[in-house]
Every structure is written in C-alpha cells, then in structure tokens.
Amino acid sequence: MAALEIRPLTSDIGAEIHGVDLRQELDNDTVAAIRQALLDHLVVFFRDQPITPDQHLAFAQQFGPINVAPFGPKLDSHPAITVLDQIAPVGGLAARWHSDNTYMPNPPLGSVLRAVEMPDIGGDTCFANMYKAYEQLSEPMRALVDGLEAAHDLTYTLSRAIDEGLAKEHLDMMQAEYPELVRPVVRVHPETGRRALFVNSNFTTRLVGVTEAESDVLLAFLLNHVRSPEFQCRFRWAADSIAFWDNRAVQHFAVPDYTERRLMHRVTVEEWD
C-alpha cells in the first residue's frame, strides 16, 4: 500500500492526498484508503498527476461503474470522458451551485475531474458540504425539511441552454428520456448514514405538497443557505490536478472569473449495484 499523506483543507470539507501516483495500478488497500478519505472529507484533491485518458478511466472505475453523461462534448478517443472546454465563462450550468445529474433516477456517486489546461488567473472550483448545510439548520427547520420532497427536472436547465446553442430537437428528446422526478429534500447517505440537503439550483424546480408561494420562499431560502462560506472549500487548479468529489453530499460551483482557456476532462462514477 502507498504511504498516503492526507492534508485537510478545512475542518469540514476537502483534503489533498499526497504520496500516490495515479499512473500506476493501485492495490486494494490504497483504493480503500482513498475511498475512506472521500467519505471523511467529501472531496479529495491530487496534484501533479499527468495521467492519460486510459489511466483516468482506470482510476475512476475502481470506485464504481462509469456513468456516460447524456449530453455535452466527449473526448473522441474516449466517449466516457466529458470535455469541458471554455476560453471564457459564459454563465453556464457549472457557474451555479449544484449536484450533478439529480434529474436522473440514480444520481452518480461522484466525479473525477482532471485539469488539462488552466488559465494563469481564475477558474477555481468551490465545494460545499451538504451534511453541514443540513446540520446548521435550526431544529424546527430540520423537522420541516425532513418531511418534504422536491421536483428535479432537466427541462429547467436545458431550456436555458437553448440560448447557448442547444438544438430544440435535442431538448425535446432529453425531456422525453428524463421526465420530472420527485425525491426527498434531505437525503440519507447510503454509506455514512448521515443526512444531507439534496436540493440544487440547476435541477430543483419546486417543493412538492406545499403551495407555490410556500415553495418559492422555502426553496429560495434553502438554495441560498447551501452557499454559506462556512460549508465550503475552494480549490486552485493547476494542470494535472485532479478532484474527486462525493456527489451524494457535495455541491460545487465553477468560479466564472477567467479570460483564458480552461480545459478539463471529467469521468463520472455510478453507485455499485
């Protein structure tokens, strides 16, 4: 087993892992230690890891089956790798606090994101701890949200993406494939048993079983609450940096403050059956 060094970024979320070369095949003990660090810190970071696309996929597959994103550009040679390539931010989906793919019947375990080319200034990513977001609510508010459900809808996000070039027929196809889903506002993490807020700005459209006015006020409060800085860490990327986050208890936000190319490759991991 590699001698891992785990350096927490904050007391609540984020840690850098040193002492491992992700270009090499990892033994079971090392994989288990990384997984435990992920559960403990919710997002883990690796620096100076010049991995190939094959090695990127091989690392991610040790934590679960690969989830191929239903839309977005892919790496030609490796269609399971999503390409995020921007010269300047356009206020897109990543520049909003969100968990990935909560409109899907089985949202992913997490994602392994690798920086390929980064701007000299800007382009950081912030991550927020949804356990803490839940725990910092007052006891009466926790009791309220524990009993609520919310609608998650891909249409809400993709309809905005038409302005950014998404074809209308593609939107119609996605709407048919991914109808609105209703899921709890508070999710119980399947491995830790801890409770986490599970609403986000990209896909949560309304609270179910309350009036529209009640939904508007309470959902706006929750979406603002998850942005609190005390729940967050912020990662400064460099080429060959890697972030691996637990999508089940984390939201993230790509800071739109750069004017040079920001090229990243993402592999998304599903839960084991």
- Position 162 scores a pLDDT of 55
Residue in 41, 56, 98, 183 annotated catalytic = 98
Q: Is 54 considered catalytic here?
A: no
Give tens-digit pLDDT for 236-269: 999 999 999 999 999 999 999 999 999 999 999 9
Neighbours of 54 (CB within 10 A): 11
User: Which amino acid is located at 192 in the chain?
Assistant: T
- Position 87 scores a pLDDT of 84
- Using an 8 Å Cβ cutoff, are 85 and 215 in contact? no
Q: Where are the alpha helices (DSSP H) in the chain?
A: 28-41, 53-61, 130-135, 139-146, 154-161, 168-177, 212-225
- Position 173 scores a pLDDT of 76
Residue in 41, 56, 100, 246 annotated catalytic = 100
Q: Is 114 considered catalytic here?
A: no
- Using an 8 Å Cβ cutoff, are 38 and 246 in contact? yes
- Position 170 scores a pLDDT of 67
Which residues are within 8 A (CB) of 182 and not within 5 positions of it... i.e. 6 or more apart? 149, 150, 151, 152, 208
Count of residues for the chain? 273
Q: Is 78 considered catalytic here?
A: no
- Position 62 scores a pLDDT of 97
Residue in 248, 252, 262, 265 annotated catalytic = 252
Residue in 56, 248, 265, 266 annotated catalytic = 266
- Position 254 scores a pLDDT of 94
First to last CA, the chain: 27
- Please state the domain extents for the chain: 5-128+235-270, 134-226
pTM above 0.95, yes or no: no
pLDDT digits (tens), the chain, 273 positions: 668 999 999 999 999 999 999 999 999 999 999 999 999 999 999 999 999 999 999 999 999 999 998 778 999 999 999 999 988 665 555 568 999 999 999 999 999 999 999 999 999 999 999 999 999 999 999 999 999 999 999 877 776 655 555 556 666 777 788 899 999 999 999 999 999 999 999 999 999 999 999 999 999 999 999 999 999 999 999 999 999 999 999 999 999 999 999 999 999 999 876
- Position 273 scores a pLDDT of 65
CATH of domain 5-128+235-270: 3.60.130.10
Q: Is 124 considered catalytic here?
A: no
Of 231, 15, 237, residue with least CA distance to 129: 231
Task: State the DSSP H helix or E strand holding residue 252, giving kind and residue range, or none if neither.
Answer: strand 250-254
